[in-house]
Structure 1
Amino acid sequence: MSTTHDRLVSVPGSTLPCRSYGDPANPALILLMGNTMPGGFWPPQFCAGLAATGLHVTEYDYRDVGGSTPGAFAQQPYDLLDLADDVCAVADALGRERVHLAGLSMGGFLSLLTALRHPDRVASVTSMMSTADYTVLLAATLHGREPRNPTFPAPRADWLAAVAAVPVDQPYPQLLAAAFRLAGGSRGDGDEAYWLAEIARVTDSPETTLAFDHKLAADRTDPAWLDLAPRLGELAVPVQVIQGADDPIFPPPTGRLTVDAIPHATLHTVDGMGHMLEPAFFAPLTEALAAHIARAIRETAKG
Structure 2
Amino acid sequence: MLAAAKIETVPVHEERMVRTNGVELRAQAFGNPSDPALLLITGATASMKRWPEEFCTRLADAGRFVIRFDNRDTGPSTTFPPGAPGYTVRDMADDAVGVLDAYGIDRAHIAGWSMGGMITQNVAIHHPKRIRSAFLFGTTPDGSSIGSAASGSGKDSGAFAAPSPRIVQLLTYNAGVDWTDEAQAVEAWVHEDMVLTGPGDTFAADLSRDNAHVLVREARNILSHRTNHGIAVAMSYWRDRLKDIRVPTLIMHGTHDYILPLDHAKAMAAEIPGAKLVVVEGMGHVLSLDSRYWDVFARALIAHTAH
**1:50 CA drift (Å):** 1.6
TM-superposed deviation, 1:219: 4.1
Alignment of 1:106-125 (within 5 A): 106-125=115-134
Aligned to 1:146: 153
3-state secondary structure, aligned to 1:5: coil
Distance between the aligned counterparts of 2:173 and 2:277, measured in 1? 33
Structure 2 residue runs of 5 or longer lacking an equivalent are: 1-9
Q: Select which of 79, 89, 111 maps to 2:88.
A: 79
Contact 1:163/1:179 (8 A) holds in 2? no
Q: Where does the alignment leave 5 or more consecutive residues of structure 1 unmatched?
A: 298-303
- What corresponds to 1:131 in structure 2? 140
Matched, 1:269 2:283: no
1:259 aligns with 2:269: yes
1:90 aligns with 2:99: yes
Deviation string for 1:178-225 (max 9, x for gaps)? 01110011121234332111122445255835434312223444xxxx
Q: Do residues 27 (structure 1) and 40 (structure 2) align?
A: no
TM-score normalised according to structure 2 size: 0.86
Find the counterpart in structure 1 of residue 257 from structure 2. Answer: 247
Whole-Å Cα distance in 1 between the matches of residues 238 and 162 of structure 2? Answer: 14
Between the aligned partners of 2:76 and 2:133, the Cα distance in structure 1 is 28
The answer as to whether partners of 2:37 and 2:64 remain within 8 angstroms in 1 is: yes
Distance 1:266 1:120 in 2: 21
Alpha carbon RMSD of aligned pairs, Å? 2.3
Per the alignment, residue 188 of structure 1 pairs with: 201
Partner of 2:300: 288
CA contact (8 A) 1:136 1:154 kept: no
In the alignment, is the contact (CA less than 8 A) between 1:147 and 1:154 conserved in 2?
no
Q: Displacement, 1:85?
A: 0.6
> CA separation in 1, counterparts of 2:15 and 2:188?
30
The residue correspondences of 1:155-194 to structure 2 (distance < 5 A) are 155-165=163-173, 168=177, 171-194=184-207
Q: How do 1:182-261 residues align onto structure 2 when only pairs under 5 Å count?
A: 182-205=195-218, 208-209=221-222, 210-221=225-236, 226-228=237-239, 230-261=240-271
The separation in 1 between residues aligned to 2:126 and 2:230, in whole angstroms, is 20
For the 8 Å contact 1:63–1:72, the answer to whether it is kept is no
Cα gap change, 1:155 to 1:100, in 2 (>3 Å)? same
- Cα distance change of structure 1 residues 246 and 92 upon mapping to structure 2, 3 Å threshold: same
1:251: Cα distance to partner?
A: 1.1
* Cα contact 1:30–1:57 (8 A) shared by 2: yes
- Partner of 1:300 in structure 2? none
Q: What code does the residue aligned with 1:188 have?
A: D
Counterparts of 2:85 and 2:197 in 1: how far apart (Å)? 34
Cα distance in 2 between the residues matched to 1:147 and 1:126? 29
TM-score by length of 1: 0.87
C-alpha displacement of 1:73: 7.7
CA distance in 2, matches of 1:215, 1:33: 14
- TM-aligned CA deviation for residue 33 of structure 1: 0.6
Q: CA deviation at 1:32?
A: 0.7
Percent of residue pairs identical: 28
- Cα 1:215–1:201 change in 2 (3 A) is closer
Alpha-carbon separation, structure 2, partners of 1:188 and 1:43: 17
Distance of 1:232 and 1:29 partners within structure 2:
22
Question: 1:227-281 CA deviation, whole Å, 9 max, x = no partner?
Answer: 41x2211111100111111110111122112101111110011111101122231
Alpha-carbon distance in structure 2 between the residues aligned to 1:75 and 1:163: 19
C-alpha separation in 2, matches of 1:207 and 1:89: 21
> 1:264 is aligned with what amino acid?
G
Verify the 8 A CA contact 1:18 1:61 in the aligned structure 2: yes
Contact 2:136–2:250 (8 Å) recurs in 1: yes
**Contact 1:199–1:206 at 8 Å: present in 2 too?**
no
